Amino acid sequence: MISYNPKEWFTFIFRFHKADTFRTLLPLIIGISIYSVIIVYFFQDYLHLADNHHLKNITIMHSMLGFVISLLLVFRTNTAYDRWWEGRKQWGSLVNNSRNLALKLSAILVEKEDKTFFKKIIPYYANVLNLHLKNQSISQELFDEYNINIDHKKHRPNQVAKLLFKKINELYLTKKITGEQLLFINIEIVSFTDICGACERIKNTPIPFSYSVFLKKFIFFYVMTLPLGYAFVLGYYTIPVVIFIFYVLASLELIAEEIEEPFGNDENDLPTERIAENIKKNIDEIL
């Protein structure tokens, strides 16, 4: 995730970062520029239709459709941002619940060995969840340390949560914690699986296919018909106008596509790895 100062907005105008939409759209911008030149030349210089007053009214259709497409894009970007923000809230809950669990265990547990176990396993859940959501491989190091076999073909965060539950149950059976204390710390452990499920819901449930395809087709045909209408009004000035309109519409769609999937390695994705590192730092301080 890109860290920046939102107050220095003027510098953003001349800044081109890796995820900038202009880089992605440049081949299409060039293609649409060539297409617009051909259309304007064909109607103005070849057919000489620039003085036809009836054809100049074609722009009315684009004005009406422009309002419709703007509403669709607003809904599209809002929906994508809601998914991004929901993912951020879930990871915020993971931070708070990890801290609360560590604080409770710090006060309840007496033996250093038990505290050391949770000092390692609580942050490890965040690390495993981060890699699980990104479909990356997970180190066997911690599981080997505690002589635990993990099946990488199965749900890995669940296996870490199972390890937590097993250890808590052992503490209860050995009378190191009471039944009331077991219920007291059970809330945070259960929340880990709830957070994992919420993140998986965001990751595995994209925007409906039909809606996404319709919007892309709408933008494509809207932009491709712009030169047909504005060639009679603006002449060769149609070319920069069409390019600018295409850049705005397509950029909004690209931004929505990127942020609707917040768990990845793109520049605008959630900094889940950094959050997991912060959890480890907090747990180390507490335990």
pLDDT at 130: 93
Query: HSE-up of 243 (CA within 13 Å, CB side)?
Result: 19
Write a three-state SS string for 161-174.
Answer: HHHHHHHHHHHHHC
pLDDT at 234: 79
Write a three-state SS string for 112-160.
Answer: HHHHHHHHHHHHHHHHHHHHHHCCCCCCCHHHHHCCCCCCCCCCHHHHH
Query: HSE-up of 170 (CA within 13 Å, CB side)?
Result: 8
Whole-model pTM: value is 0.82
Residue 266 DSSP code: S
pLDDT at 118: 93
pLDDT at 225: 86
Residue 107, both tokens: 């006060």
pLDDT at 44: 74
Residue 54, both tokens: 């009836």
Which phi and psi angles does 78 have, rounded to 5°?
Answer: -65, -40
Residue among 171, 164, 214 at smallest CA distance from 190: 164
Instruction: For the beta carbon of residue 10, count every other beta carbon within 10 angstroms.
Output: 8
Dihedral (CA of 192, 196, 202, 205) sign? negative
* Burial annotation 208-222 (CB, 10 A radius, 16+ → b, else e): eeeebeebeebbeeb
**Amino acid letter at 96?**
N
3-state secondary structure of 178: coil
- Sketch the domain layout of the chain as residue ranges: 104-205+274-286
Dist CA 11 CA 3 (whole Å): 14
CA diameter of the chain: 94
273 Cβ partners below 8 Å, 6+ apart? 130
134 Cβ partners below 8 Å, 6+ apart? 263, 264, 265, 272
Q: Return per-residue pLDDT of the chain as tens, 287 residues.
A: 666 555 666 666 556 555 577 788 888 999 999 998 988 888 776 665 555 555 556 667 777 888 888 888 888 899 999 999 999 999 999 999 999 999 999 999 999 999 999 998 999 999 999 999 998 877 666 566 655 666 777 888 998 899 899 999 999 999 999 989 989 899 999 999 999 999 999 999 888 888 888 888 999 999 988 888 787 777 888 899 999 999 999 988 888 888 888 998 888 889 999 999 999 999 999 98
201 Cβ partners below 8 Å, 6+ apart? none
Residue among 180, 140, 136 at smallest CA distance from 160: 140
